[in-house]
Amino acid sequence: MRKVYLDNAATTPVDKRVLAAARPYFSQRFGNASEPHLWGQEARRAIETAREKVADFLGAKPKEIIFTSCATESINLAHKGLLEAKLREFQNPKSQIPKKLHIITSSVEHKAVLETCKHLEKLGWAKVTYLPVDKYGMVRVSDVKQAIRPETILVSVMYVNNEVGTIEPVAEIGKVIKGINRSRRASHSPPLYFHTDATQAIQYLDCEVDKLGVDLLSLTGHKFCAPKGIGALYVRSGVPIVRQQDGGEQERGLRAGTENVPGIVALGEAIGQVQRSTFQVQNRVKELRDRLIDGVLKISGTKLTGHPTKRAPHIASFVIEGVEGEAMLLLLSDKGVAASSGSACTSGVLGPSHVLTAMGISAEVSHGSLRFSLGKDTAGEDIDYVLKVLPGIVVQLRKMAPAA
């Protein structure tokens, strides 16, 4: 049976060259980078080389990169670390920081952002505005503008939505924030910081931080063929962050704990590969995705979710009438196909996807949600195969369902 893995937005296979680059750092060059001996130096050099690669990809300085374990950790560090730093400033009586800090984010963020924001609200550190989105899952730049108040300290908007693939207007929001900060500087008010969760964007989109106008950017390796357990946070020079994991002085004192050297080396290698190949891969993946979308939409009662054009190359997401998502995943898996769904039955908390709900899609319709996410190695034959087996599965499940 053919095996077709179309769940690359969940995770990707580790690339052979990435694995080869990381392998020596398990048993041969295993040193602790904090030690001054030869072994330690070797590990230190490997970490700093990887840091340069990540920085180069983002158009940043190496010292602005902090290695973490994953995007969730980066996001937690960025939000909690910034808020804690600002609250410390506030304790200085001369400071002009207003009493209640304010965060703006979107209602379609990953749980890592939403739950972190909820935690900050619970701690009483901040008030949070969760911006609505349009029917494509896109944040309106004008909504961001309108939500900004004098006490707003952080705007956090994802680059690419993981469920529907919509590309958020991050660079436009960056411009708005730049304008706000010009006038804040003139009035000696504290600046507004901009974070983006770029987890789904690294493989295919331009992630240069100056073009995006972001101060903080979170990413994770396993979405672009590095292993799980390694991520990074970009922190623009001058952005105040208080570490959230206490211990040693690793990562400029911002993330304690012995560095994951093989993971860091792998991340550096993987991001370097993305940088060298982005353009060709992007076009090929986009073509295949469009072929998949066209094919799926030929099945009656199917609709594309997310923006029709402003979407990441690798994500094709749908709602399919009269079938339940998890049942589709089971039957697809039987045919060797991996996909994903945002149906309530697959969520673990039995609620419909918050992303689809925010887009105005009813629980009944999102019950039949299905997401395919392509990878750099997805082949045309893979798409043909999925288009061959999916219609039969939909028919089979519709036959099983009671008439409305």
Q: Where do contacts with other proteins occur on this chain (CB under 8 A)?
A: 322-327, 329-331, 333-334, 343-346, 348, 350-352, 363-364, 367, 397, 399-403
Q: Compute the least distance from the CB of residue 355 to other proteins, in Å.
A: 16
Helix H or strand E encompassing 285: helix 261-297
Complex with other proteins: residue 165 or 352, whichever CB lies closer: 352
Nearer to other proteins (CB atom), residue 314 or residue 367: 367
Which of 117, 207, 225, 345 is catalytic? The answer is 345
- Smallest gap from Cβ 86 to other proteins, in A, equals 39
- Cβ proximity to other proteins, 186 vs 349, nearer residue: 349
User: What single letter denotes the amino acid at residue 170?
Assistant: V
To the nearest whole angstrom, how small is the minimum distance from the Cβ of residue 363 to other proteins? 6
- Maximum Cα interatomic distance, the chain, rounded to a whole number of Å: 73
Q: Beta strand pairing status for 193-197 and 152-156?
A: parallel
DSSP H or E stretch at residue 127: strand 126-131
Question: Least distance from C-beta 398 to other proteins, angstroms?
Answer: 9
Q: Count CB neighbours of 368 within 10 A.
A: 24
Cα distances (angstroms) measured from residue 73 to each of 17, 58, 66, 69, 279: 26, 19, 11, 6, 29
Q: Which is nearer to other proteins, 20 or 330 (CB)?
A: 330
Beta strands in 51-106 (DSSP E): 65-68, 101-106
Whether 345 is a known active-site residue: answer yes
Q: How far apart are CA 30 and CA 8, in angstroms?
A: 30
Q: How far is the CB of 75 from other proteins (least distance, A)?
A: 22
Nearer to other proteins, 55 or 393 (CB): 393
- Say how far residue 162 (Cα) sits from the centre of its chain: 7
Q: Beta partners for 4? A: 337
**Could you give the 3-state DSSP secondary structure of residue 234?**
strand
Indicate which residues carry an active-site annotation.
Answer: 345
